[in-house]
Amino acid sequence: MKPCVPGILVSLPMPRFILASLLLLVSALPARGQDLARADSLHARGELRAALDLLDSLVVDKGPGPELSWRAARTAVNRGMLIERTDRDGAREAYLRAEAYTRAAIDVDSADARAWEWLGIARGRRTLTEGLRTRATLANGVREASLRALALDSTLSGAHHVLGMWHAEVRRLNTFERLGAGALGADDFGDATWDAAVSHLERATRLAPGALVHGVELARVYLDIDQREAALAELRRVVALEAVEPSDELLRSEAHGLLADLDGGRLPSG
């Protein structure tokens, strides 16, 4: 039986060692796809340690490729989100790991939009585990990574989410905290607006309507700006969504809690 290789390879004369190398490369491609499919399956089942171990081994063997690094970062971020409340240090370590994956991919290809997207996501999540001084120094990098991602691909919902959260988190700071962050090196805090927070988070939900994380944070911003009915509608939409990511049940629980507070009158009306 003849080897199954592209016709152009078969038709050109070449030394045996070159043909052997090309055959090895072609035969390895399905295996890499199978490995990524297995990592996706482990991730979807919530077996995040096993998924990370597999992705780690692939990064070591194959290098930080574009389809590999963002998957590794996604799994690390989900692990951090699941343990953030009970193990702050462990969550920070998971987010740092996600940053390392994406930075390695960017070092290989600075036009890797998904690597920039997940770098922004990882940095954004890490700010939630840090004090004001570190959060201030991280803020510039969070925004920069997301802007770089959107400059390469404006349809990345995660990058819109992070930019929306950047605007919201800055606006949530009081005047003293904002001044302090500026003194610590945070730039452009004066650019933050509630309108931009809403715009980016609404865009994220339109691009990925099944992502619970976008809807929960959009509802929080609606509450920040006293749009109670919009928050109620968004939360009701979110709790009806199917869980896809391992962190989705946690997000659904948060959405139910916010709904209970709204329906019970414990949150102020708009």
Q: Is the pLDDT of residue 5 over 60?
A: no
Q: In 165-266, where do the E strands start and end? A: none
Phi and psi torsions of 97, nearest 5° = -65, -45
Tell me how far apart the alpha carbons of residues 95 and 128 are, in angstroms, rounded to a whole number. Answer: 10
pLDDT in tens, 61-71: 888 878 899 99
Q: What is the pLDDT of residue 109?
A: 94
Of 10-24, 69-83, 149-163, 239-253, where does mean pLDDT reach its minimum? 10-24
pTM of the model: 0.82
Q: What is the pLDDT of residue 112?
A: 96
Tell me how far apart the alpha carbons of residues 126 and 88 are, in angstroms, rounded to a whole number. Answer: 10
- Extract the tokens encoding 258: 């916010």
pLDDT in tens, 38-60: 999 999 999 999 999 999 999 88
Q: What is the average pLDDT across 227-243?
A: 96
Q: What is the pLDDT of residue 175?
A: 67
Tell me how far apart the alpha carbons of residues 205 and 207 are, in angstroms, rounded to a whole number. Answer: 5
At 187, the pLDDT band (50, 70, 90 cuts) reads: low
At 140, the pLDDT band (50, 70, 90 cuts) reads: confident
